[in-house]
Structure 1
């Protein structure tokens, strides 16, 4: 009992399950707010650790999390010392009780400000792992009997290759079910365990509801990723996922990307910036990358995979290149005019994506264009990215943007 531990008591249940269930949220899209950060870590490092803690749970359940910076939030994270006017449980200084959390649907998660909160080191207390543990409580999990489980009551120390224990996964899925195959399943694990070095001067955190993006990608397991500056987030029908630094998911990848594209044909993800290209399989960089981009102009605008001919299309200005990943390419005949193939789209798109229904979408500034199977822009476009694609709500209550359709396509999509 002298070991560093969670402040929640340990009344294990007496059934076959090794975890204790404390309750559940009646919804699967939860808003969270980070009220303050620890003084022992740079702000961007601490924020990254907290966001990754949410990702462990969203990877194996249908739960989605959206950060808000003002107003009400379902889950509220804060740091305070021995006593706080906003917490009924006092902390005890360094060591012993590290953090505690309320059960659903109360939503408070408190961390002891007197601890030495750290990341990527065996010193002090790892913020990412403790935050993931306390979020488990906030989502309805009690303590596990397995000492190696995340939900064990005693802190086992920093683990550089940390991942959820099968008991953690079984417990959370008993509450919320498994991840939908359309978005990804419980077997997929975003490899955030080898947290890479973070840029010392990250760009400001973007607002996903501004509508502007640097790149868009329909990635592995059908997840849609949106990129802006040094950050990336996922988009689903139920809302936006938390923001991550690009390098926190794809180690070695810079921010401010020009284009991104995933190929189901090869399972490769290609990222483009300047005159270089990076290749990843899931979240691991392929040997020999990055490489110099050859045969194509640098500083691309957008890229997409076209399932109809299993080729990658690269866009720059008013032209495009068609690229076969598994063959020698004669690119001397390119670029060709974008409008010669895709009718009605703007020049210099900021992003492009092909959808599972065979349609193609182009993004520029705060609008996007949807093309049908004849590769012509459909009636009703362009549309607003923030409202119709990101599912952001209007600032004025009880209003609907023109068109009234809050899905990127009139067919209804589940990005």
Structure 2
């Protein structure tokens, strides 16, 4: 009788735990669908009692679109990463993305005049009057630097753009804020001119904590000028707040959008646009340069200045948060280095850069070729496919076909025990990769053809990969 009673108790406990899990899944599903409805991904009425199996194809497609524009693994499911992203800080304006093209979206009308006034009705106590004014003034400058529009602050009377801070439930704002986190601000399309910020946020400037007022204000001003949300995750006009950056620049999609409405400024301020290569070398004639949106990669690396360098043929280009920059001839930056490389890798440990082609290796310190190089490869196979710096153990990995070598720059490495099968080190990666490297976020990426794979800290390919190099890495517009 005691055993029977114990079995009943255990069964009840298991049932209780299972029911809680199902309830959590259902709650998260309802939370996600409400979010998708609120921000324009779903237009159909929602059933609050819907099952949490996400069987609706309409919801799945809405989730896939949201995951795509949020740079999440595209699963079509309400997973942990998706829920966490939905709970993050963002703009209160909806983003009804229902087209496949990744580009700027227009938002209502446009201002007919090109000289606009703005008035700040109240200030955040976090920065005070002068700090708030400086942040807002800097935010306007991002747009006036690239488009033929100007802004002037007025202290009384009616202004074209009206800026104010509102707290939760204690103001006349038509779209009340939700307290700290989540919705940071919202704005209305021209010719409304309304720009509101959540007073309850911790507004900051020049620091990584809190929420940067200058960047959020620049986003909302974009709305007030007629821009909708961008599907580029790294664009200013992306719906989610990405955090403070000390070197913040407009994304090329932001610039393309504002110039589509108001035209180009005759002389753009280069301080507002992150479109230039990290060198003062003269730019060559680009008639023979590859198109980064269609070129086959020879190599890619996180190199000097923590810049991402992509190589194809006789050219390289840098890839930043704003997309790719114009290709430049390789030998204009690295003197004596040939094109059509097999692999490139920069060591964060020694600050040396290695380039491999055929049976030779070139080693540079900064941009200067080290004495005695190039040298012949004696313990590696020629025509290596890819090379990468493995942060986990500070070693360099060389890959060819389905095999790899692991080399320590400082300590003696017995390379006679190599090569070994790549599947012993990485799980789920392709053989014969075109390129591979470890990026700023510590993640490892493999590239082959027009696809790339991302690996987690367990050196396994993340769910939802491979993805398109052109759309995600080069951020090309199709």
TM-score, normalised relative to structure 2:
0.44
Distance apart, 1:62 and its partner CA:
5.7
Q: Is the 8 A contact 1:209 1:390 kept in 2?
A: yes
Q: 1:392 to 1:106 in 2, by over 3 A?
A: closer
Find the counterpart in structure 2 of residue 192 from structure 1.
281
**TM alignment of 1:361-400, pairs within 5 A:** 361-393=445-477, 395=478
Larger strand proportion, structure 1 or 2?
Answer: 1
Q: 1:73 to 1:272 in 2, by over 3 A?
A: farther
Find the counterpart in structure 2 of residue 304 from structure 1.
388
Moved over 6 A (4+): 27-30, 71-74
Distance apart, 1:63 and its partner CA:
5.6
**TM alignment of 1:191-340, pairs within 5 A:** 192=281, 204-210=288-294, 212-340=296-424
Establish whether residue 26 from structure 1 lines up as the match of residue 143 from structure 2: yes
Distance apart, 1:207 and its partner CA:
1.1
Q: 1:250 to 1:62 in 2, by over 3 A?
A: farther
Distance apart, 1:288 and its partner CA:
1.3
Deviations 1:62-97 (A, max 9, x none): 66897xxxx9997xxxxxxxxxxxxxxxxxxxxxxx
Q: Is the 8 A contact 1:29 1:63 kept in 2?
A: no
Distance apart, 1:25 and its partner CA:
6.0
**TM alignment of 1:156-195, pairs within 5 A:** 176=272, 190=279, 192=281
Q: Is the 8 A contact 1:343 1:376 kept in 2?
A: yes
Deviations 1:123-162 (A, max 9, x none): xxxxxxxxxxxxxxx334xxxxxxxxxxxxxxxxxxxxxx
Find the counterpart in structure 2 of residue 408 from structure 1.
none
Q: Secondary structure at the match of 1:279?
A: strand
**TM alignment of 1:47-126, pairs within 5 A:** 106=264
Q: Secondary structure at the match of 1:288?
A: coil
Q: Secondary structure at the match of 2:293?
A: helix
Q: 1:24 to 1:289 in 2, by over 3 A?
A: farther
Q: 1:366 to 1:106 in 2, by over 3 A?
A: closer
Q: 1:337 to 1:329 in 2, by over 3 A?
A: same
Q: 1:309 to 1:63 in 2, by over 3 A?
A: same
Find the counterpart in structure 1 of residue 268 from structure 2.
139
Distance apart, 1:356 and its partner CA:
3.1
- The structure with higher relative contact order (CA 8 Å, sep 6+) is 1
Distance apart, 1:391 and its partner CA:
1.0
Q: Secondary structure at the match of 1:139?
A: coil
Distance 1:249 1:64 in 2: 26
Distance 1:266 1:27 in 2: 43
Q: Secondary structure at the match of 2:281?
A: coil
Q: Secondary structure at the match of 2:354?
A: strand
- Unmatched tracts of structure 1, length 5 or more: 1-22, 31-59, 75-103, 109-137, 141-171, 396-415
Distance apart, 1:336 and its partner CA:
0.5
Q: Is the 8 A contact 2:389 2:437 kept in 1?
A: yes
Q: Secondary structure at the match of 2:143?
A: coil
- Unmatched tracts of structure 2, length 5 or more: 1-139, 148-245
Q: Is the 8 A contact 1:216 1:224 kept in 2?
A: yes
Q: Is the 8 A contact 1:314 1:322 kept in 2?
A: yes
Distance 1:206 1:301 in 2: 20
Find the counterpart in structure 1 of residue 236 from structure 2.
none
Q: Is the 8 A contact 1:250 1:284 kept in 2?
A: yes
Establish whether residue 358 from structure 1 lines up as the match of residue 438 from structure 2: no
Q: 1:378 to 1:65 in 2, by over 3 A?
A: closer
Find the counterpart in structure 1 of residue 134 from structure 2.
none
Q: Is the 8 A contact 1:257 1:273 kept in 2?
A: yes
Q: Is the 8 A contact 2:342 2:383 kept in 1?
A: yes
Q: Secondary structure at the match of 1:210?
A: coil
Q: Which structure has the larger Rg over C-alpha atoms?
A: 2
Q: 1:238 to 1:275 in 2, by over 3 A?
A: same
Q: 1:61 to 1:287 in 2, by over 3 A?
A: farther
Distance 2:465 2:383 in 1: 27
Distance 2:145 2:466 in 1: 31
Q: 1:265 to 1:377 in 2, by over 3 A?
A: same
The two structures, once aligned, show a CA RMSD in angstroms of 3.7
Distance apart, 1:248 and its partner CA:
0.9
Distance 1:29 1:314 in 2: 44
